[in-house]
Chain A
Amino acid sequence: MMRFILPFVVFVILAGFLYVGLGLNPREVNSPLIDKPAPAFTLPQLHEPAKLFSPADMKGKVWLLNVWASWCVSCREEHPVLMELARQNIVPVYGLDYKDKNADAELWLKKGGDPYVLSVSDADGRIGIDYGVYGVPETYVIDKQGVIRYKQIGPVTPQNLNEKILPLVAELQAK
């Protein structure tokens, strides 16, 4: 009786998909902003609020935009990775200080070290909304034309830095 074996067959196919699904990275959620121009903003710099920063200033350079906050626990996890990256001087990292108090943020950077060329403060999180930030930390790779090429959700680890982000940066810099 074929019809009685059918549920089993359907299940086996399903299990196959689930098995493949396990090998995929759940953190690698596609952002609708990938391959779109990075949303524009002009924000005061964290250390010198009188000065402004805008992604337009970065035209012609490949750079990383890292969303962080002093209240974020996972940011502490990725902080040493970013410090190391800053020391190697491969690609400039800019910080977007998300929903944070300036005093807290500055204290945090003073204590742990500042991996950023500069940070801007997005105190009310409005720029975060434009970028589709749904958790801190997140890191965007932005190319010379100001287009977002990659988005890392969650902390940057040495593994995904070496396997994904740096090769992509090298490729984009060569263009």
Chain B
Amino acid sequence: MIPEIGHFTLIVALFMALCLGVLPIVGAARNNAVLMGVARPLAAGQFVFLGVALACLGYAFVANDFSVLYVAQHSNSQLPTVYRISAIWGGHEGSLLLWAFILSAWMVAVATYSKHLPEEMVARVLGVMGLVAVGFLLFMLMTSNPFDRLIPAAADGRDLNPLLQDPGLVIHPPMLYMGYVGFSVAFAFAIAALLGGKLDTTWARWSRPWTTIAWVFMTGGIALGSWWAYYELGWGGWWFWDPVENASLMPWLLGTALMHSLAVTEKRGAFKSWTVLLAIAAFSLSLLGTFLVRSGVLTSVHSFAADPKRGIFILSFLVVVIGASLLLFAWRAPKIGLGGKFDLISRESLLLSNNVLLSVASASVFIGTLYPLFMDALGFGKLSVGPPYFQAVFVPLMVPMVLMMGLGPLARWKKIDGLELVKRVRWAFGSAVVIALLLPLVMGKWTPLIALGLLLAFWIIASVVLSLRERLAGRDDFMLRLRNQSRSYYGMQFAHLGVAVFIIGVTMVKGYETERDVRMNVGDTVQAAGYEFRFNGVTEEQGPNYVAGRGNVTVSKDGKPVTELHPEKRQYNVSGMPMTEASISPGLLRDLYVSLGEPIPDSNGAWAVRVYVKPFVDWIWAGCLLMALGGVLAISDRRYRIHNKRTMAEVSGTDLPLKEKTA
């Protein structure tokens, strides 16, 4: 019964989405207040019905209803309850439902926090999001209904993929989807502005906080995914240039570009058509990400759907959404105009170059990810593009970007004296160079790449310090000046510092990690980076739905005990899949990482053991966290709250007659 209710609510939600996608947009075109007025209630209705659908699916999982095909495929009676809930998005159908639900949550957020916007703008934005929802709901109902029955019911389920049975994977997909789907808001604002023919600085101001929130979620989601790969896959790596990872990196890069471009459009009225194009492209890449992951066009470690029918549907959907948007762009953009002029050396030009570099980086990831597909389509056969390509392309693009990142916040709008800027930053840059040259010597190994990485990181840090010093210098109260800087300023600097912390993490791990892959008998020891790892054997342990060999490794340094690690090798009961659970002792300056390989046959309890000492590796994710925190600070800026109130007061005069009409 409950699954049928879920199915039914999906159908209701589809009809609501259809109405939402048509009525308010027509209303905005004809200036009909009644039609525009249905946008908010319909958005709320979507949210409620999709929430019920999600709850129904959750119920089927918790109650072990194996007469639902999706549940039978992704759960098992032995599965712990928390993973039964996260199993909702452990497969294709459920992920789509989660996607649609999150989209409706964004709609409700837009409906709630848009009181100060002109009614036709709200109508158009929600309408565009409604059209996107139509696509997803149709897709679900036609090709991938999570509520399909399995008759006769299975005795027990096939269990959730053991890779996904992990706390990190409970929150990673919802977080990432919040980001992916969040870009739909920026997209909807851009389309609404194109439809209305009014692309001005207010449009940029409205879509800025939405873009930033989506970007914050996406940053968090990607960081979580990378962290998961680090501790769960047992290979000690944190980024594999896997197609699914790339699918999230591409919209993130464009989203980053969009954030910066929106800043210029808001402050200076420049780059308008470019910003609109970025908004369309960022969301298109989010959709394409879904396409790549879900259609099976590209296979990877963790794509879990391969069905050509679905692929055709998603492709048609992509063609309609992106094709229509780009045609609209081609039609309307020529009338947008150019906006404020700026000099060759100015904050605008620095931001524009950063934009271009980020877009090129995104395009290069795109090419690397799809190149095998293109070659295959053209009949050149199958091939795969590996990490060497991405590293070779990515690093040279990021170096100038980071160098400009330090200059951007220091430069003024419109026009600056290049010579003066050079004078201002010479000490900051000089100290970064000195640190980059000397620090690797202290660490014990000097290579050009380590020095380059450190130079970039310390250049950002020095430029942030310089900017703070310039802003805070003065005779009056220091604390007052500290308080007087806007939160968006601090947000920007936090995010930039996050990039520096991230670069330090990457550089240190790459430059100084130690790896030992050894066969160890009980009682054997191995040395790595000054630590002594002693293998005390493996004992058998019973988990809720698996049997594990649990290793015991004691770590000591200079004879003093440091920690005890328990890497596991699990064998899941249902799928029979062996899983490696690494054991990690995290630290500010280093992680100690041990994972079990295979037992050595015909030996007395010996195992292949992999031991890593990874310096500064947690800085990689700490950097992402700082970036996300910077985004949060930026949207909490009082500017947005004050603007909200002021625009509301300004608009309320024109707003009243409209309301009377609706009444």
A contact set with B: CB distance below 8 Å:
1, 4-5, 7-8, 11-12, 15, 17-24, 26-30, 70-73, 99, 123-125
Contact = CB atoms under 8 A, between A and B. Distances in A.
A8 B323 contact: yes
B314 to A, nearest CB: 9
Contact of B326 (A8, A17, A72): A8
Interface size class of B (residues with CB under 8 A): 35 or more
A72 B370 contact: no
Contacts, number: 86
A124 B280 CA distance: 50
Contact of B297 (A18, A123, A125): A18
Contacts of B319: 15
B324 to A, nearest CB: 10
A8 B297 contact: no
Given A7-B326, A12-B323, A24 B578 contact: no
B141 interface: no
Contacts of B202: none
Given A19-B315, A22-B295, A26-B298, 4 more contacts: A21-B376, A22-B308, A22-B315, A71-B578
A26 B323 contact: no
A32 B68 CA distance: 41
Nearest to A18: B315
B575 A4 contact: no
A123 B601 contact: yes
Contact of A21 (B277, B334, B373, B601): B373
Interface of B is mostly: helix
Nearest to B374: A17
Given A4-B330, A11-B322, A72 B297 contact: no
Contact of A30 (B299, B306, B383, B601): B383
B329 interface: yes
B381 interface: yes
Interface in B272-291: 273, 277, 280-281, 284, 291
B576 A73 contact: yes
A20 B370 CA distance: 12
Contacts of B334: 1, 4
17 contacts: A4-B273, A4-B333, A7-B326, A7-B330, A8-B323, A11-B284, A11-B323, A17-B374, A18-B315, A18-B373, A20-B377, A22-B297, A22-B312, A27-B299, A29-B382, A73-B158, A123-B601
A11 B325 CA distance: 11
Contacts of B281: 7
A26 B374 contact: no
B311 interface: yes
Contact of B377 (A24, A29, A70): A24
Contacts of B408: none
A99 B295 CA distance: 31
Contacts of B383: 30
B537 interface: no
